[in-house]
Amino acid sequence: MRRFEEMQERFSILEEGLDAVLGFSSFGIHCGIKKEKNDLAVILSETPAVAAGMFTKNEVKAAPVLVTKRHLERRGYLQLVVVNSGVANACTGKKGEEDAEWVAEKAAQYFGIPSVDLVAVASTGVIGEFLPLERIDEGLRRLAAILPEKKSSRETAKAIMTTDTFPKERAVAFSTGGRTVHLAGIAKGAGMIRPNLATMLAFLITDAALSREDLERLLHEAVDRSFHRVTVDGDTSTNDMVLLLANGKSGVFLEGSSGLSLFREALFFVCEELARDLARDGEGATKFVTVSVWGARSEEEAKRCAFTIAESPLVKTALFGEDPNWGRIMAALGRSGVPLDLSRIHVFLNGVPCVRWGMRAEEASREELRRVMGRKEITIDVHLGLGDASFSVWTCDLSLDYVRINSRYS
C-alpha cells in the first residue's frame, strides 16, 4: 500500500491501461487458435515508434523471437505488434520462421504499414505446433476493421494469456515541462517463468519521444529490476519477449531533460508491478512470496542466495503447506555456492524471527510462525552479516495445482 502511495506523489496511476497512451490503439479477439477466449491481439501506433526489445536467452528460440529481432535490428522502429496465444510456433524449423514472416506481411498489408520490418510478431502456447494461418489471417482482417475506431487494453491483455488467471496491465502519467506523458504495459506469464526472460511476454508503450539509445538503456535497466527478478519454477521459455515503443505523440522529447529521470522511475514502477503480478499468478499459486537477502559481500552473491531459496521445491512446498520449516531455507542457503558464516545468519518470516545467529530463534513460537505462514503474502528476509549488498526475488509457492496444470498442458 505504501508503494502505491509513494508512486501517487510522483505519478497518476491510471485504470485505462494501454488505452491511456496517445497515438496507440489495441484490441484482442478470439480467432479460433484456442477453443475459446481471446487468442489474437494487435497493438498499433499511428506512426512508426522508436523501439527497443529484449528476448529470451534460451538457445532454443521460437520463430517469432528470431523474426522480431531481425525486424528490430534492421529499422529500430516498430509500428505494429501482432501477438497470438495458444500456439508458440517454437521448434517449428524453417516453416515456423516463414509462417511468422507471413503473419507480419499480412498484418502490414491489412493495417497499411509501409514496411514489414515495422511489424513485430510474438507467440505463446504449446511448443512444436504450427500456426493456424487461415484463422490468423481472418482474425487480422477483423482486427484491421475494428482499429483504430475501437480499442480495448483489457481485451488485448486477455488475448495474450495462456494459463494466466487474470490480465496484467499497468498505466501511469506524469507531467514535465507543462505537458503530460503516458506510459503503459501489459504482460503475460504464469508458468515456465525464470527470466532470462521468462513463457513471458510484455509490451510497453509511451507517447514520449526518446532516442533509441535512451530507450534501450532504460529498458535493460527496468528488466533487470523487474522481470529478471521473478521465478515461478526455474524454467526459461523459448518465446520470451519484452518490447518498448515510444511514438512521441505527447510532444515531449525527453532526451537530456529532467523528465527523463521521471520516465525512468515510471518505467521501473510499471515493470515491477507487472513482474509482481507474474509471481502472484504463478501456476497453481496460493501465495505471493518475496525473498530478500541482505548483508551479502556482493549483489551477485545475494542474487544466488535469493534465487536458490526461491526455486527450492522443498521451500516452495513448505510455503504451500504453511509449514514454518525454516531448516529448508537454511539448507537452500548452504547449497547456493556462496561462502557463508553460519553464526552470522538471521532469518525472518514477515518480520518474525525464526533464525538467530544460525540457530532457532527463541522469540517466536512455532504456533506464531505457522500463523505467519498462513498469510497470502509472505516475505522471507535473510541477513548474512557479510557485507552491504542485497537482492530481492519474487516467487510463489508450489501447489498440487501446478502439477495438475503442467501435466495436462498440451
Catalytic positions are 199
SS3 assignment for the chain: CHHHHHHHHHCEEECCHHHHCCCEEEEEECCCCCCCCCCEEEEEEEEEEEEEEEECCCCCCCHHHHHHHHHHHHHCEEEEEEEEEEECCCCCHHHHHHHHHHHHHHHHHHHCCCCHHHEEEEEEEECCCCCCHHHHHHHHHHHHHHCCCCCCHHHHHHHCCCCCCCCEEEEEEEEECCEEEEEEEEEECCCCCCCCCCCCEEEEEECCECCHHHHHHHHHHHHHHCHHHECCCCCCCCCCEEEEEECCCCCCECCCCCHHHHHHHHHHHHHHHHHHHHHHCCCCCCCEEEEEEEEECCHHHHHHHHHHHHCCHHHHHHHHCCCCCHHHHHHHHHCCCCCCCHHHCEEEECCEEEEECCEECCCCCHHHHHHHHCCCEEEEEEECCCCCEEEEEEEECCCHHHHHHHHCCC
